[in-house]
Amino acid sequence: MNNTLSILPSRENPRLDPAWVAARFDRVAWCYPLFETAFLVPKSARRSALDQLNLQAGNRVLSIGCGRGPLLPEIGRIVGAQGQVVGVDLSQRMLDFAQRQNERHGLQNIELLRTDALTYRGTAPFNAILFSFSLTSFGQPADMLHHAWEMLAPGGRMVVLDGQLPPSSRALVRPVLPTIRWFLESTVLGDPDMEPLVLLKDLGQPVNVAHMRGGAYFVAQVIKPG
């Protein structure tokens, strides 16, 4: 396996190309956890996202852009044998890591699918949907959110864990944004220009937000009326 990061010229919104996105994440699947350390992702971030899902036994849960699926085993244990967990991702190598992890935990209620989340439709509505460091990797994040919203059951919870440029620092980093964008496109694909919390508010429901690291990371929850 070639573990060298491919350095290619940045182009306009390459996240619109599923094959490009899959290839990028395939290349970094082996070392992806190292980026969370390098980017100072708070250790409590995933636990906070899990708490905001407010899961119950028997729930159906969808993880969009699940990657290596670090939260999937815990989600699977909470929803139990009567529940179901579906993880979708474009990267087969990311899913391979997730599958090996699930096998180690002996879980039978987790299904992993290599597919474009924008075209995926579950067989029934989901009680909870999770974006864990994935929303800012989509070329059409607003479309992805609305598609996920349609799959969410009334009363269901959508939770987004992600990073963003803190509003207070946007003007300061503007001169180096091309470099930041190149680095992100070569690694974790996050879009430095995206304002994910604004997109969430466009769903028309209250957004409960917990900020971390001075606003660089957040966990946001939106509940679908029902």
At 144 the pLDDT is 97
At 168 the pLDDT is 67
Checking if the pLDDT of 203 tops 80, the result is yes
Checking if the pLDDT of 169 tops 90, the result is no
Checking if the pLDDT of 214 tops 80, the result is yes
At 10 the pLDDT is 45
Query: Which is more confident, 180 or 162?
Result: 162
Cβ atoms < 10 Å from Cβ of 79: 23
At 11 the pLDDT is 52
At 7 the pLDDT is 35
State which amino acid sits at residue 56. Answer: Q
* Mean pLDDT along residues 88-109: 96
* Mean pLDDT along residues 125-137: 96
Instruction: Dump pLDDT digits (tens) for 17-75.
Output: 999 999 999 999 999 999 989 888 999 999 999 999 999 999 999 999 999 999 999 99
Sheet arrangement for strand 84-89:
110-114, 84-89, 60-64, 126-132, 152-163, 217-223, 207-212
Checking if the pLDDT of 5 tops 60, the result is no
**Third-level CATH fold of 14-223:** Rossmann fold (3.40.50)
At 118 the pLDDT is 96
What residue segments make up the domains of the chain, in order of their start?
14-223
- Please, which residues have CB within 8 angstroms of residue 160's CB and are 6 or more apart in sequence? 130, 131, 135, 196, 200, 218, 219, 220
Which residue in the block uniquely carries the two structure tokens 């966990």?
A: 219
Checking if the pLDDT of 112 tops 70, the result is yes
pTM value is 0.89
CA quadruple 96, 26, 41, 35: dihedral sign: positive
- 22-39 burial by CB neighbour count: b if 16+ within 10 A, else e? bebbbbbbeebeeebeeb
State which amino acid sits at residue 55. Answer: L
